[in-house]
Amino acid sequence: MDKFTTLTGIAAPMPLVNIDTDMIIPKQFLKTIKRSGLGKNLFDEMRFTQDGQEIPDFVLNQPAYRRAEIIVAGDNFGCGSSREHAPWALLDFGIRCVISTSFADIFFNNCFKNGILPIVLPEEAVAVLMEDARRGANARMTVNLEDQTVTTSDGKSYSFEVDAFRKHCLLNGLDDIGLTLEKVSAIDSFEKIAGQSRPWV
């Protein structure tokens, strides 16, 4: 998992409320267990017509937001089914941070496990960030995980809370496997001692 320290990038405004995981990655794309390749189907039913043509009005199809790395969203982002493909699709597209007033719990947890930082801020702060995002590609936000701040393109800064353990994992690029591998020497030592003391096991 890639480390998340400081991100300065384009933020796409998505003021819709209750963006669910089926909107993020529709059910027909859940056949794969690979984390790569899902970005092309992110928000598929909102981005494309049934014959595969781009819908020009959708924010991620607009030239200013094709390289967005941040989404500023409405309430209750990531609700619906628990599919982990949703953060996989966001990450594969290039989204590393989602900012909202609230998230569905399972989606929120899955983001941290996949290297995406979900940030909860008050409605007033999200409104300011949403307006800044509407300014397009020249307005770049900065998300600093170490300092726990989001800064607009014109310098307004907002602090956010993040669990200390999850922060540690993102800063160091540690998913569940990475956390286990940090203990590999202790695991090897335990197995060696266990093998000597209980050779019949």
- Supply the pTM of this predicted model: 0.88
Which CATH superfamily hosts domain 6-175? Aconitase, domain 4 (3.20.19.10)
pLDDT digits (tens, 9 = 90+) for 57-85: 999 999 999 999 999 999 999 999 989 99
Tens digit of each residue's pLDDT (9 = 90 or more) over 7-48: 999 999 999 999 999 999 999 999 888 888 999 999 999 999
* Nearby residues of 47 by Cβ (< 8 Å), 6 or more positions away: 54, 55, 58, 60, 61
CB 11, CB 129: distance < 8 Å: yes
The domain locations on the chain are: 6-175
